[in-house]
Amino acid sequence: MHRQRDLFRLKLILAVIATLFAVAASCCLGSSNVTLGEVIKYFSGMKDELSPTVVTIIGRVRVPRVFTAALCGGALASVGCVMQGLFRNPMADPSVLGISSGSALGAAIAIVSGLNIVIIGEGFTGSYIGAIIGAAVTWMMVFLIARSSGEYDTSSTLLAGIAISSIMSAFITVLMTLHMDSMERVYMWMLGTFSSSTVAKMQVLAVVVGICVPLLIWISPRIDVLKLGKEAALSLGVNQSRTLGITLCLASVLLAFCVANSGIIGFVGLIIPHIVAFFRVYKARQKLLMCFFVGAFFMVICDSVAKTIVAPGEMAIGAITSLIGAPYFLWLLAISRIRAGRKGEKL
């Protein structure tokens, strides 16, 4: 049977190379000059040939920031990919279940009440704990409501999430109005930035991503099976409630750590899965892998722009992701519609 060749491996290799290149290039950008050669020497273990200042700059400033951006981008895109698949809804994204707002509220409470100064472990501040508690509370609320009929139902889960999300956002607004003094800090943090990345924070995030993303990759083929409907999935040994529960739990953990680390960065989780789909990667596992790398690549690029465009100042990363991502997405959308129109296919 004649079928189009599956070029997935090639696409994945290209995405990985692009990500590595973006990471290396972004390590060169910043207030002091570091060359690409020095970065390559740093990563290939030839640190002795570099001056101590350069080693410190790369190791303490550039690497944490760039890797945190890459990990966050990859995690957010993976979560978006999983959510869109699970809910069979192209508009689902990480913020839709209210978990981003919930963890933002938790972190905002920590910042306002001064708990963020409390350091539990290196890189593990009070705002982290606040964000994780916030995410957990939101997650439980969404699921208690969605499960009240005894079965998960995707549309009521989505609706419950949207409603809870707006409650959480409202609480943040109330909190900011009542505490005008810390408003700027909360607001800047909510807009999202990677400028306060440290080695310890990066390590915490790397561990979380290193556990959750492989588990998501393991479970992802079930997302495709669930698209056949509850009973047909059951006949293939896939239990809908269990799969939804496990997957959303993993996604929430990832999301909580991303928000705690760098605030709410919108749009990445929504747009990256669609961009990946334009490159004809559809199967859940392949799509998730691609999303992780494309998301990482995209976030590193956006962060590079954010730290250079108004140097020595910082632009909020959320603005950059939308300003770069949205036009590119619209362009892809227009192109694909024109192509489909020529072929006489409907989209």
Partner 1 sequence: MSLGPLKADKITVTYGKRIVLDSFSHTFEPGKIHCILGPNGCGKTTLVKSLVARYAASGDISYVPQNVYGNVALSVYDTVALGRYDKSRFFTGLTPDDRALVDKAISDMELEALSDRIFDTLSGGEKQRCMTARALAQDTSWTVLDEPSSSLDIRHNQLTMRKLVDLRDNEGKSFIIVLHDINTAVRFADSFILMKGGKLVCVKDSLDTEVLSDVFESPFEMITATEGASFFCPL
321 three-class SS:
helix
- Token pair of 229, please? 């409907």
User: Does 225 help bind partner 1 (rule: CB under 8 A)?
Assistant: yes
**Residue span binding partner 1 (CB under 8 A) among the ranges 52-60, 102-110, 263-271, 278-286:** 278-286
User: Does 236 help bind partner 1 (rule: CB under 8 A)?
Assistant: yes
31, 235, 310, 327: which one binds partner 1 (CB under 8 A): 235
Contacts with 292 (C-beta within 8 Å, 6 or more apart), sequence order: 74, 75, 77, 78, 213
**Residue span binding partner 1 (CB under 8 A) among the ranges 49-57, 62-70, 214-222, 248-256:** 214-222
Closest separation in Å from C-beta 91 to partner 1: 10
Range 285-291 contact pairs with CB under 8 angstroms and sequence separation of 24 or more: 285/217, 285/220, 285/221, 286/8, 286/12, 287/81, 287/85, 287/220, 288/78, 288/81, 288/82, 288/216, 288/217, 288/220, 289/12, 289/217, 290/11, 290/12, 290/15, 291/74, 291/77, 291/78, 291/80, 291/81
Closest separation in Å from C-beta 108 to partner 1: 34
DSSP conformation letters of 59-76: IIIIHHHHHHHHHHHHHH
The interface with partner 1 within residues 238-257 (CB under 8 A) comprises 238
Range 121-125 contact pairs with CB under 8 angstroms and sequence separation of 24 or more: 121/200, 122/200, 123/198, 123/199, 123/200, 123/201, 123/202, 123/203, 123/204, 124/200, 124/204
Instruction: Show the site string, 85-114: x = touches partner 1 by CB under 8 A, - = not.
Output: x--xxx------------------------
How far is 101 from 138, CA to CA, in rounded Å?
9
Cβ atoms within 10 Å of 82's Cβ, excluding its own: 28
| Minimum CB distance to partner 1 smaller for 178 or for 335 | 335
**Residue span binding partner 1 (CB under 8 A) among the ranges 63-71, 102-110, 193-201, 221-229:** 221-229
| Minimum CB distance to partner 1 smaller for 60 or for 88 | 88
# residues contacting partner 1 (CB under 8 A): 29
User: Does 180 help bind partner 1 (rule: CB under 8 A)?
Assistant: no
Closest separation in Å from C-beta 152 to partner 1: 15
54, 258, 277, 299: which one binds partner 1 (CB under 8 A): 277
User: Does 7 help bind partner 1 (rule: CB under 8 A)?
Assistant: no
21, 218, 278, 331: which one binds partner 1 (CB under 8 A): 218
- Answer for the pair 304, 39: CB distance below 8 angstroms, yes or no: no
User: Does 62 help bind partner 1 (rule: CB under 8 A)?
Assistant: no
193 three-class SS:
coil
User: Does 342 help bind partner 1 (rule: CB under 8 A)?
Assistant: no
| Minimum CB distance to partner 1 smaller for 228 or for 309 | 228
Residues forming contacts to partner 1 in the complex (CB under 8 A) are: 1, 3-4, 85, 88-90, 218, 221-222, 224-225, 227-229, 231-232, 234-238, 277, 282-283, 285, 345-347
